[in-house]
Amino acid sequence: MDNRINYLLDTCIVLNGLGEFIEDHKNCGILLSRTTLSELDGQKTRDGVIGYKARKAIREIKEIKKYGKLHEWIKIENNIHFKVEGNFEEVKGLNIQSNDDLILATLPYCIQHYGSTVLVTNDISFENKAEELGFEIMNYYGKDDMYKGVYSGKIELTVNDDIIDKFYKGGVTATDLKIIPYENQFIIMKSTINPKKTAVGITVNGKIERLKYQDTTPSKLKPRNLEQKMAIELLMRDDIPMVTMTGAAGSAKSILQLSVAIEKVLDNETNFKKIVLAKPPIALDKNLEVGFKKGTIFEKYIHTLGSITSNLEVLKESRVGRYMNGIKLLEGYIDQGIVEICSIEDILGSSYNDCIILAEEMQLMTKENIFSLLSRCGSSRIFVNGDLYQSSRIIGKDPREMGLFHAINVFKDSKLSGHLKLEKIQRSEFVEELYRVW
């Protein structure tokens, strides 16, 4: 064997994304214990997510098998060599009747016969046992793992009734709740005795304040649930310059932000004079790009602004009770100077003052891209949204290189930013089912 590094993957890594691990590495060896194949076989008939993941992993291994025999080294993409190892070494302290211990016993055999080998696992107890035996360990988190752990902007707590009573009388502090929340984070409190007794507050300087705008209907848009009330709370607070929102397609991110932006720009008592629309000039994927588009900036961008035009139709119908074409509405707002379309690719040198920037589909922007956009904000506010799961392949595999993902993480404890992850899909029952089964 040459001096390449080898990775022995625990079953949890294979279940959560064998293909993704392979895509993220090159010039290495990837090993699976034969025990892992047995565990996958035992999980494949299960209902739900585990069964689906097991079947997917088995299909991925079957694809690799087309290029050779699994018990021999198979060379695949990116100069990766793949092998299923059935041999193991008996190690004091390991019980080879246990699947975990048998996988672990495969590691010294691989080290002895193939050179430097690292165990890859996210199982803490498995990791601790391997470290006690002196083996080298590595964790690996794919996109899904990172997205699940992204900051949501809210905490749910069960508390005693006296805490809820105190909240309504004069407010509670983070110390009362025995938590350390982030600034502008929502705290949802539920009684330990009566589930119907609840309270919702927002963290400001360590104190949990009551919501100021929970009954607000911006542009006559009525919030349908608690999370939409929380979204409106962040958007209405002018002391929060940046509000980020994530959620699946159809979770009402765009219409909530658009309704508040219109409300504030049309309100003569605010300093906001216009709405600036910013959307990445990027196709859904590389294979769908159509190249350079001729015409004015309106003509170039209008067909990418469906999230704006379709929601303008909904908001207008809510106010006047009749349908109006969204493209015509947007064109009218632009003619009046109420709305401006921002060309992100030409943004350097610009400065936006006294406006609200609506930054749509920001999951398509890299860290560098979104930094350039955020650094244009003068005396303005910026509402940012995106669906982290719909990032284009233009963005690298590591979610930390995604501008929206990065912005949420670095600003989560800043007084100048608020974030909320929207969980409820409002578009249709079909889209809700799509996200459940896809």
Range from 13-17, 147-151, 238-242, 279-283 that averages highest in pLDDT: 238-242
235 three-class SS: helix
Q: Residue 63 domain-assigned?
A: yes
Distance of CA 99 to the CA centre of its chain: 33
Q: What percent of the chain has pLDDT over 90?
A: 56
Through-space distance between the first and last CA atoms of the chain, rounded to whole angstroms: 41
Q: Which residue(s) pair with 301 in the sheet?
A: none
Our count of domains for the chain comes to 3
Measure the CA–CA gap between 45 and 84, rounded to whole angstroms. 22
CATH number of the domain to which 85 belongs: 3.40.50.1010
Q: What percent of the chain has pLDDT over 70?
A: 90
Q: Residue 1 domain-assigned?
A: no
Show which of 93, 116, 140 is a domain's final residue: 140
Measure the CA–CA gap between 54 and 37, rounded to whole angstroms. 10
Give the mean model confidence (pLDDT) for residues 141-152: 73
Measure the CA–CA gap between 377 and 356, rounded to whole angstroms. 9
What letters, b where the CB count within 10 A reaches 16 and e where it falls short, cover 357-381?
bbbbbbbbbbbebbebbbebbeebb
- For 311-353, what is each residue's pLDDT tens digit? 999 888 766 666 788 889 999 999 999 999 988 877 887 899 9
Average pLDDT, the chain: 87
pLDDT at 2: 59
pLDDT at 115: 93
Question: Is residue 388 very low, low, confident or very high in pLDDT (cuts 50, 70, 90)?
Answer: confident
Measure the CA–CA gap between 324 and 5, rounded to whole angstroms. 62
Would you state the torsion angle of the CA atoms of residues 19, 21, 26, 30, taken in this order, to the nearest 10 degrees? -90
Distance of CA 36 to the CA centre of its chain: 29
Whether 372 and 403 have beta carbons less than 8 Å apart is answered as: no
Same-domain status, 165 and 230: no
CATH number of the domain to which 164 belongs: 2.30.130
431 residue type, one letter: V
Show which of 210, 236, 260 is a domain's final residue: 210
Show which of 112, 140, 168 is a domain's final residue: 140
Same-domain status, 236 and 189: no
Q: Please, what is the angle between helix 11-23 and helix 34-43, to 10°?
A: 100
Measure the CA–CA gap between 31 and 33, rounded to whole angstroms. 7
User: Lowest-confidence range among 293-302, 319-328, 382-391, 397-406?
Assistant: 293-302
pLDDT at 356: 97
Would you state the torsion angle of the CA atoms of residues 211, 214, 219, 221, taken in this order, to the nearest 10 degrees? 150
Q: Residue 334 domain-assigned?
A: yes
Same-domain status, 171 and 235: no
Domain range for 154 is 143-210
Distance of CA 162 to the CA centre of its chain: 36
Same-domain status, 352 and 376: yes
DSSP annotation string for 95-113: -TTSHHHHHHHHHHHHHHH
pLDDT at 319: 61
Q: Please, what is the angle between helix 34-43 and helix 99-114, to 10°?
A: 150
CATH number of the domain to which 421 belongs: 3.40.50.300
Same-domain status, 246 and 377: yes
DSSP annotation string for 338-393: SEEEE-GGG-TT--B-SEEEEE--GGGSBHHHHHHHHTTBSS-EEEEEE-GGG--T
Same-domain status, 258 and 406: yes
Relative to beta strand 74-76, strand 80-85 is: antiparallel
- Is 70 exceeded by the pLDDT of residue 196? yes
Measure the CA–CA gap between 274 and 354, rounded to whole angstroms. 7
